[in-house]
Amino acid sequence: MRGWRGVTASVAAFALLAGTAWAAGKQSRAHARAASAAAEEGPPDKSMGSRNAPIVLEVFSDYSCPVCKLFYERAIRPMLETYVAEGKVYLIHRDFPLKGVIGHEHSREAAEYANAAARIGRFQEVDAALYDKQEVWTRGGSPDAKVDAIVASVLTPREMKQVRELVQSHKMDTYIESDTALGNSRGVRATPTIYITANGKTDILPANLSYSLLKRFLDEQLQK
């Protein structure tokens, strides 16, 4: 009797484990399929928040630029947790890597990885990692201090493989160039250049702004 109970329990445990593994595998396969399907689709989505938000913030940025990092830390990060999460602000990232500027040698590479991550739906994590570790990868040097390593630290090996494939295929180049061309057509000359559209009016925000003033401005626009 005891033997039968043990066998039944073992079979049940095995079935449970097998079922869980199958479900996880199915989810993972579905995720991989969705990611590879996304990889074949149009421009990578480098936006955050609701498209129907009353305020749209469009940031032309260079991942190597210290003021862009400052703007990310002072304004974008607190906004992500509040205005963006609450559907009040829609954030759009545009790549504008500066050329021929000392300290910006890896800007383009970082933008390629960010676009590839956006393609597989992991832009927000990679965007944050690139700004958080800007001092590390802009200096370069050891393999751990390269853009690839920084991006790998926030993605799964499977996601990283996809990102590397996209970067190596140079499929993302066209999207970086189209962002840069858009910036040039609008007269962007500095990074970050921040356009804010609210109540049908578009203005430019200064880069090294104080979050308390930005918050007052956002609240003022939301009340109109």
Binding status of residue 138 toward another protein by CB under 8 A: no
Beta carbons of 221 and 214 less than 8 angstroms apart: no
Taking the C-alpha atoms of residue 204 and residue 197, their distance in angstroms, rounded to an integer, is 9
Taking the C-alpha atoms of residue 38 and residue 34, their distance in angstroms, rounded to an integer, is 6
Contact segment (CB under 8 A) with another protein among 59-67, 131-139, 140-148, 166-174 equals: 59-67
Name the residue nearer to another protein (CB basis): 145 or 205: 205
Question: Which ranges of 40-84 does DSSP label H, i.e. alpha helix?
Answer: 66-71, 77-79
Other C-beta atoms lying within 10 Å of the C-beta of residue 136 = 17
Residues in the chain: 224
Binding status of residue 210 toward another protein by CB under 8 A: yes
Binding status of residue 208 toward another protein by CB under 8 A: yes
Binding status of residue 189 toward another protein by CB under 8 A: yes
Beta carbons of 174 and 43 less than 8 angstroms apart: no
Residue from 38, 128, 149, 209 that binds another protein (CB under 8 A)? 209
Name the residue nearer to another protein (CB basis): 67 or 128: 67
Binding status of residue 181 toward another protein by CB under 8 A: no
**Exposed / middle / buried, residue 145 (Cβ in 10 Å: 0-12, 13-18, 19+):** middle
Binding status of residue 70 toward another protein by CB under 8 A: no
Binding status of residue 101 toward another protein by CB under 8 A: yes
The residues of the shown chain that bind another protein, judged by CB under 8 A, are 62, 65-67, 98, 101, 187, 189-191, 193, 201, 203-210, 212-214, 216-217, 220-221
